[in-house]
Structure 1
């Protein structure tokens, strides 16, 4: 179902992929959009409980797309630098594929929001999640396939 990486010598092991997911600043969520066009949107995320969690509004383009086609991809790049003398770049990245869905279960949703808060705002003690969790949509990507690639 999923293709093998063309340049296998640059493929990262699964453990390294998970580390990239843990340290990435943001990722790009890609969905199948109107008339089959891809739609990619940069998003904050957290890798938590072996899944990707995202927060967003309850409506919009990506939500419509996911409602129609749950299959998504998510890409994270954590290192990038140009090497002028070699006309090349150094990088490490991960791309994963899975099914995206809205989290409806209260405890899972609160747990995901807390993980997002701790990741991006570790100094904030009173997160307000108990009051705000119903106003915030949380998406979960169950990872079906993941690959990582590097050049250094």
Structure 2
């Protein structure tokens, strides 16, 4: 089995759209990595996330807004021979994005970002109270670089 690079933008966006969560990695000012799973929305090369207005991740991002975001789907344990441990591997498809977090402060823009996030999980429409919108931190991450791979692809015979 081998790993292949995915080049097609439509296929990359399909992987993102089929993901339930993403993992957001950042680095604090002591160079300690910090990775958290998050709900997300995606539209036209921009990832949207939401959180509370304060916390460890917000403290990190105020010092260093660089993030790495990973999506992964279709996990399946496979092997070439059931008795050979080194022949086991996980089939999967993944996308890795890098960008810089910008916080959205405008209430109308926050509502739009929340709609993008919610549309990833539901076909319903939502209303947001002003206190709720004021109290949520919206992360907007335009994607600077993106790569994708498929793992565990059978070798052609």
Bin the TM-score by the shorter chain.
Answer: 0.7 to 0.9
Determine the C-alpha separation between the residues in 2 that align with 1:70 and 1:34. Answer: 11
Displacement of 1:28: 0.5
Structure 1 residue matching 2:69: 3-state secondary structure: strand
The question of whether the paired residues in 2 share the 8 Å contact of 1:72 and 1:98 is answered with yes
1:27-66 alignment, distance < 5 Å: 27-66=22-61
Question: Map of 1:1-152 to 2, 5 A cutoff?
Answer: 10-13=4-7, 14-84=9-79, 85=81, 86-123=87-124, 125=125, 127-131=126-130, 132-151=132-151, 152=153
Per the TM alignment, residue 21 of structure 1 is displaced from its structure 2 partner at its CA by 1.3
1:63 and 1:33 map into 2 onto residues whose CA distance is 10
Structure 1 residues not aligned, in runs of 5+: 1-6
Q: What is the aligned length?
A: 143
Q: Which structure has the greater CA radius of gyration?
A: 2
Give the match for residue 84 of structure 2.
Answer: none
Cα-to-partner distance string for 1:26-77 (whole Å, 9 max, x where unaligned): 0110011241111000000011232000010111111111100011100010
Give the drift of 1:92.
0.1
- Normalised by the length of structure 1, the TM-score is 0.86
Structure 1 residue runs of 4+, over 6 Å off? none
What TM-score do the two structures reach when normalised by structure 2? 0.83
Higher helix content, 1 or 2: 1
Q: Structure 2: state its 5+ residue gaps.
A: 82-86
Deviates more, 1:59-68 or 1:15-24: 15-24
